[in-house]
Amino acid sequence: MDKQTLSFQAEVKQILHLVTHSLYSNKEIFLRELVSNASDACDKLRFEALDKPELFEDAPNLEVRVFFDAEKKTITIRDNGIGMSADEAVSHLGTIAKSGTREFMNKLEGDQKKDANLIGQFGVGFYSGFIVADRMTVETRRAGAKPEEGVRWTSEGTGDFEVETITRAERGTDVILHLREGEEEFLSAWKLKSVISKYSDHISLPVLMPKTKWDDEKKDTVPTEEWEMVNKAAALWTRSKSDITDTEYQAFYKQISYDQEAPLAYTHNRVEGRSEYTQLLYVPAKAPFDLWNRDKRGGVKLYVKRVFIMDDAEALMPVYLRFVKGVIDSADLPLNVSRELLQESRDVKAIREGSTKRVLGMLEALADSDNAEERDKYAKFWGEFGAVLKEGIGEDHANQERLAKLLRFASTHADSGVSFADYVKRMKEGQEEIYYITADTLSAAKNSPQLEIFRKKGLEVLLLTDRVDEWMLSHLFEFDGKPLQSVAKGGVDLGKLQDEEEKKQAEATAEAFKPTLDKLKEALKDRAKDVRTTTRLVDSPACIVVEEGDMSSHLARLLKQSGQAAPAGKPILEVNAEHALVKRLDGMSQGEGSFDELAHILFDQALLAEGGQLEDPAAYVARVNRLLVAA
């Protein structure tokens, strides 16, 4: 192929501009990314060679070499991995077929311009070379191809790149960085070794650099023709726990997660029995921005007998634990395991169950710790991942009881951190149910009229405001034998907490108020399923509730917001017969126009108070205005 000049994909042009102008605060990450890419290329060769051992050619030992030329001002990262064909070079280095490209650019353009972590997270690490280089050359040949099918790719990181055919005896890839002015600090063996040690120490392949010796004439160290390994090249998870420091565990986490913050917790275990595997699992401190993106693949890295098989092995971790990072290395799975086989394997099921229990055990240790610092870590975890963990209540019935103990809520007694166990300890004598309310916001839940009688009697109510809560409650019905009861469903029955005198008074009020209730039912027949008096209200004139077993108003709103049709149904209007506004209705005749006006205003206000939306806001405003003018 003669030399061709091609244009970068539009997104690549934008990324190149952002990379060279925004990621200047941590320039050394270019070496981390390019060494990681070289290691990945070797892993891919090892995987493909399972079926085609001839791809190893005459060089079965996989390695990465890093060296520099001070006179030419170049740094070269060389691997003897899978390499690229001409088409692959154009495709991989000139375009990005990745859904996260737009988010990557938005992030860099936003408040996190200097977040070097982002570049690896979005799979555009190759372009980090342009942070320090004004020109990059890639010379490569795919394993199994003829020497004359080598490829040279060259670009200055602007709008174009050149591709031409070359003769290359060795398979694999050389990435050559031509450093720009001012980046000479990287033309140092000590500097390159320190960066490799910092970021790439745990890569399972040897990373080699030329040995150096002192040159009296140059008054500096110079490279020799001997090579030495500058990383440990031992898979961290295969080492004994007693030999690994906390710093090493954290460094490994940062390498595999592209997260610059230390993890909240980790667990490292070797499991023996019917299935043998090693797990090194981490709980991050911060939720990724795409945690709720259903298209994003989640999961841990899968190795089989230390051979890398795949990233994001979703079958090894339930979806509700998709935030967990780490490595699982199995001794039992076949080396050519596929995603399809992972879904069906009995061994994988055993690994998944064992890993799930380990993660839940980690979280329980934090949540139940006597150490305040550990409990604070769990509070931080809950703030980041609590809503995701709630999904497990419906998805993982086998661990539902353990998960229920890990749940935390706000309540009328505390703004956060209330567990079911805390709630049960504080239950009043004679209280038989755990009371809760769902709402769009904490403020809406706290100020709901339905809480008034509970607040008056000092009864704690859990305030649930996550969108997942309604779905979760369709799977969780009790805790520790205590049924969960919505304060916005059914009639108020406080059982032993309501004395006989209160019950008799409520019955007498309902009987005396019956004529007015009948008139209200007639006035609101198109909007309310029923109208009744209630003891749940203290200060408010009315509230909206639904029958026990019916869909809550909050869930109906969530369905509507997501474009789904909620089952047609009318709510119940409960009125406080002791409220002045309701007493005024009691003295009005059905035929009076203002009775119907006031009845509709009462209903609309109750709907608004519980977070609902009016079907006809203008009609409500007009009714209120007419009453104000009349007053």
Give the tens place of pLDDT for each residue, 190-220: 999 988 887 777 677 899 999 988 888 877 7
Query: How would residue 568 be classed by pLDDT, with cut points 50, 70 and 90?
Result: low
* Predicted pLDDT of residue 115: 45
Q: How many Å apart are CA 492 and CA 40, to the nearest integer?
A: 62
Tell me how far CA of residue 362 lies from CA of 286, 342, 387, in angstroms. Answer: 16, 25, 18
CATH superfamily, domain at 4-229: Histidine kinase-like ATPase, C-terminal domain (3.30.565.10)
Residue 302: strand pairing partners: 310, 328
Sheet-wide strand order for 325-330: 265-271, 277-283, 325-330, 300-304, 307-313
* Predicted pLDDT of residue 119: 44
Tell me how far CA of residue 68 lies from CA of 40, 198, 265, in angstroms. Answer: 22, 19, 39
Instruction: Output 526 or 143, whichever has higher pLDDT.
Output: 143
Residue 363 has pLDDT above 90, yes or no: yes
Residues 6+ apart with CB under 8 A from 525: none
**Whether the Cβ atoms of residue 437 and residue 463 lie closer than 8 Å to each other:** yes
Question: What pTM does this model have?
Answer: 0.67
Residues 6+ apart with CB under 8 A from 526: none
* Predicted pLDDT of residue 226: 92
Mean pLDDT, range 49-68, rounded to an integer: 92
Q: How many Å apart are CA 209 and CA 231, to the nearest integer?
A: 10
Q: How many Å apart are CA 128 and CA 27, to the nearest integer?
A: 8
Alpha carbon 351 to its chain centroid, in Å, reads: 22
Instruction: Output 332 or 113, whichever has higher pLDDT.
Output: 332
SS3 label, residue 344: helix
Question: Which range is most confident: 237-241, 318-322, 373-377, 439-443?
Answer: 373-377
Mean pLDDT, range 457-467, rounded to an integer: 92
Instruction: Output 115 or 343, whichever has higher pLDDT.
Output: 343
Residue 108 has pLDDT above 60, yes or no: no
Q: Helices in 478-592 by DSSP H: which ranges?
A: 500-512, 514-523, 553-561, 580-586
Q: Strand pairing of 482-486 and 265-271?
A: unpaired
Q: How many Å apart are CA 474 and CA 500, to the nearest integer?
A: 33
Mean pLDDT, range 446-471, rounded to an integer: 90
Lowest mean pLDDT among 303-312, 358-367, 540-549: 303-312
Where are the CATH 1.20.120.790 domain residues in the chain? 498-630
Q: How many Å apart are CA 407 and CA 451, to the nearest integer?
A: 22
57: left (phi over 0), alpha (psi -120 to 50) or beta: left
Residue 69 has pLDDT above 70, yes or no: yes
Residue 77: strand pairing partners: 66, 175
**Whether the Cβ atoms of residue 319 and residue 298 lie closer than 8 Å to each other:** yes
* Predicted pLDDT of residue 99: 35
User: CB 136: neighbour CB atoms within 10 A?
Assistant: 21
Residue 245 has pLDDT above 70, yes or no: yes
User: CB 211: neighbour CB atoms within 10 A?
Assistant: 13
389-496 is a CATH 3.90.700.10 domain: no
Query: How would residue 107 be classed by pLDDT, with cut points 50, 70 and 90?
Result: low
Residue 546: strand pairing partners: 489
Instruction: Output 567 or 411, whichever has higher pLDDT.
Output: 411
Residues 6+ apart with CB under 8 A from 309: 47, 302, 303, 333, 335, 337
AA letter at 224? T
Mean pLDDT, range 531-559, rounded to an integer: 79
**Whether the Cβ atoms of residue 523 and residue 595 lie closer than 8 Å to each other:** yes
Residue 121 has pLDDT above 50, yes or no: no
What mean pLDDT is reported for the chain?
84
CA atoms within a 13 Å half-sphere pointing along the CA-CB vector of 200: 29
* Predicted pLDDT of residue 227: 95
AA letter at 233? A
Q: Helices in 53-142 by DSSP H: which ranges?
A: 86-94, 101-109, 117-121
Alpha carbon 182 to its chain centroid, in Å, reads: 39
**Both structure tokens of 400:** 């539902």
Lowest mean pLDDT among 167-171, 201-205, 248-252, 454-458: 201-205
The CATH code that applies to domain 236-367 is 3.30.230.80
pLDDT digits (tens, 9 = 90+) for 578-599: 888 888 887 776 655 688 888 8
Q: How many Å apart are CA 121 and CA 125, to the nearest integer?
A: 8
Residue 5 has pLDDT above 90, yes or no: no
Where are the CATH 3.30.230.80 domain residues in the chain? 236-367
Q: What is the rounded radius of gyration, in angstroms, for the C-alpha atoms of the chain?
A: 33
454: nearest Cα among 421, 417, 415, 485: 485
Residue 120 has pLDDT above 60, yes or no: no
One CATH from 3.30.2450.30, 2.60.40.10, 1.20.120.790, 3.60.15.10 for 498-630: 1.20.120.790
Where are the CATH 3.30.565.10 domain residues in the chain? 4-229
Query: How would residue 104 be classed by pLDDT, with cut points 50, 70 and 90?
Result: very low
Mean pLDDT, range 306-330, rounded to an integer: 84
Residue 572: strand pairing partners: 530, 545
Instruction: Output 311 or 456, whichever has higher pLDDT.
Output: 456
Residue 246 has pLDDT above 90, yes or no: yes
Alpha carbon 465 to its chain centroid, in Å, reads: 18
Residue 499 has pLDDT above 90, yes or no: no
* Predicted pLDDT of residue 37: 87
**Both structure tokens of 482:** 């205590």
**Both structure tokens of 133:** 């280089």
Sheet-wide strand order for 150-155: 4-7, 160-166, 150-155, 133-141, 172-179, 74-79, 64-69, 207-215, 220-229
